[in-house]
Amino acid sequence: MADTQPGIEIHEAHFPGRAPIDAYGNGGFRFAEMSHRGSLLCLPSGIYAWDVTSTEDLNAENFEKLFSEANDIEILLIGSGSDLVPIQSGLREKLRNANISADPMATGAAVRTYNVLISEGRAVAAAFLAVE
């Protein structure tokens, strides 16, 4: 007879809502009195663990969750780690078609800009690569 007891249900790491980023570094972020190891995708629907670890992964495929909320986003900040990395042309074109202005910058600058924009109530999203 098969085991009918429910197993452990694993959900995608997600903080529902917007919160400023309190700290970054050591491979992660602190926000809403929590810490997260790894990269983050901050959208109008909340803050998500983002399985992107390098600038080579900053492509349109890894932004599908963002595009599903495109109607609520005007600005996308891309924190590309320690250095500024230009946005790949395929991603830039898809963002332009969705009427989203994108600004790449180092993760630290992106975090500071994101915090200012959410405090102003702006329609902003952010993709932050974790930095050591």
Domains of the chain: 14-128 (3.40.1230.10)
Written as tens digits, the pLDDT of the chain (132 aa) is 445 556 655 446 678 889 999 999 999 999 999 999 999 999 999 999 999 999 999 999 999 999 999 999 999 999 999 989 999 999 999 999 999 999 999 999 999 999 999 999 999 999 999 999
Largest Cα separation within the chain, whole Å, is 58
pLDDT at 91: 96
All residues at 6 or more sequence positions from 46 whose CB lies less than 8 Å from its CB, including other chains: 14, 15, 16, 17, 18
Cα atoms in the Cβ-side hemisphere of radius 13 Å centred on 73: 29
pLDDT at residue number 13: 66
Task: Look at residue 16 in the predicted model and tell me its pLDDT.
Answer: 82
- Is the alpha carbon torsion for 130, 83, 111, 24 positive or negative? positive
pTM: 0.88
